Structure formats: C-alpha cells, structure tokens
Amino acid sequence: MFAADFEYRKAGSIAEAVQLLSDNPGAKLLAGGHSLIPLMRFRLARPEVVIDIGGIANLRGINVSGDTINIGALTTHAEIAASADVQRSNGLLAEAAGGIGDPAVRNRGTIGGNLAHADPASDWATVLTALGATVSAQGPSGARTIAVSDLIEDAFATVLAENELITTVSVPVLAANQRAEYAKMAHPASFYAVVGGAVVVTMDGNRCTAASVAVGGLTPRPVKAPSVEQALSGTTLTADSIGDATARLGEDITAAGVDIIGDVYASAEFRAGVAPVEVKHALMHAIGLAHH
C-alpha cells in the first residue's frame, strides 16, 4: 500500500515547525510515524504537505524537576519504559509505555504523536488523564498548557489548533502514599486497548483518601469517573468495596454523554461490561490484592 504523493518538509526547530504549519494549512506533522504512516497508507489521510519534526533534538528527552516529570513530545515509548527516572518517580508511566504495541513499535512511536493522534484506543490518553498530566503546546503566539483530559475532544480530534504542536508532556511524580495502575483488555494482534482502566489512589494505610479513575478504549475520548472516585474516597479498599465502587462506572459514562464504541472485535455491550472489570483489576493491583 502506498500513500498518496505529498510534499516533504523537514523542520529543524520548533519555531520552524510552527511556521511551516501556519504556511501550509492541512499539513500533518510526522514524528515517529506510527499513527500517521498507516493512516496515509490506507488513504484515510492525504495531506499535501508532511512536516517531519523527527530531527528536532530538544523535543526529545526526560527530566524530573521537583514533583514533575517532563517528557519531550518526541520521546519514544521504549525510552519512557526504560528510563530509570521514570521507573523511580512514576512506575505507571513506565509500565504503560512498556505495554504499547510491540518492541519495534515502541522504538519508533512517540508520546506526543500518540496524544496528538487521539486514537480512542490510546493507552497514553487514558493513563495520562488519570494521572492529571498536562501538555505544553506551542503555536505562533506562544505556548499554552492543556490538561490531557481537555486535550482530546473526540475520536482522532484534539483541541490543538492547526498550527500548534505538542512540545512537552508533564506528569506528576507519585507521592510515597500513592499507587497507580492501568489494566487493559488488549486486541491480540495490535495490542491496542479494547478497554482500559487507569487509577491513582492516595492511601492512608488501607484507607483511600483520594482517587482518580479514567477509562478509555470504549469511548471516543477517555472518560473520568467521578462517581467511582467518590465511592472510593474515604473507603477502606477491599475486593468488596472496590466492586461496589466500580459498579458505578456506567453512571459516569452516561453522564459524560459519549457513545460506547462497538466494532467487529467487540460490541458496545461487551465493552461496557468489561470496563468496570478493568478498573477493578487496576485497583486490585494498586492495593496488592492481585498481581500482574
């Protein structure tokens, strides 16, 4: 399968990439290419101009500053999974990165490209929503910070302007009393999430004092679960209390006003049934009642 012909431009800097985006409406950014190239080969995308940002060195790399992990948009999933800094400061990030695709895909796919592509099956979208991560987006008039939970509007659609690009993803360092986990039902060939649930719980002994819960894969964009979070907060976490809390997930999906995806692999009814199970698995792992 061949992509349609396009004009190739290589950006040497963030400013040049923004300029090229402004000058070429409809142009697409090429980072690792693991979302864009398949779309172009299936001719689901036919950009006239492709702007390669893969060589912009200062879009790559990880640094931990105070209680924030800053990850350059071009950092690959493999680099995040292997980073000792990430493993130490937020183990969920490393674990989620290591569960995306397969090793060769992780060697090329980037965190910024993954978010900008906004595939409903993105592991990052769900995990980073639960973690309260933000992205920094650069446009012609400067940079702005966008919460990942606000970034994705719909399937394959973000709030980014046509001439904005994600430069950094910022994720909180987990506190000593916080546990974070992600559980997914993965498609057996692509490893894309059919349903994924991500949780962050703040613990005081066995009691949960605060919780953040997000699900993805089954909805066009990740959905936060305030009813589940509320049911967990102030509760001693046991298999029973976790089951009671996750049973409320359906209310949150209804309240979010989004459709549940059904396709040849899994019907909407099936996905809706699996979602609380994945959140429950994540919570059980988080408190050590189950193991991977």
Partner 1 sequence: MPNKVPITVTVNGRSHSAEVEPRTLLVHFLRETLNLTGTKIGCDTSQCGACVVKMNGVTVKSCTAFAVQADGAEVTTIEGLAENGNLTAVQEAFWNNHGLQCGYCTAGMIMTVTEIIERNPNPSAEEVRAGLEGNMCRCTGYNNIVRAALAAAAAGQGG
| Residue closer to partner 1, measured from CB, 107 or 233 | 107
Q: Which is nearer to partner 1, 30 or 272 (CB)?
A: 30
Question: Is residue 6 exposed (0-12), middle (13-18) or buried (19+ Cβ within 10 Å)?
Answer: middle
Comparing CB distances to partner 1, the nearer of 7 and 251 is 7
Distance CA 94, CA 110 (A): 13
How many CB atoms are closer than 10 A to CB 199? 35
Q: In a 3-state reduction of DSSP, which class is residue 292?
A: coil
Residue 166 CB neighbours (<10 A): 26
Q: How far apart are CB 31 and partner 1 at their closest, in Å? A: 10
Nearer to partner 1, 1 or 176 (CB): 1
Task: Rank residues 25 and 38 by Cβ distance to partner 1 and give the closer one.
Answer: 38
The answer to whether 193 and 222 are in contact (CB under 8 A) is: no
Footprint of partner 1 (CB under 8 A)? 1-8, 10, 30, 33-34, 37-38, 40-41, 50, 52, 54, 78, 101-105, 107-108, 189-191
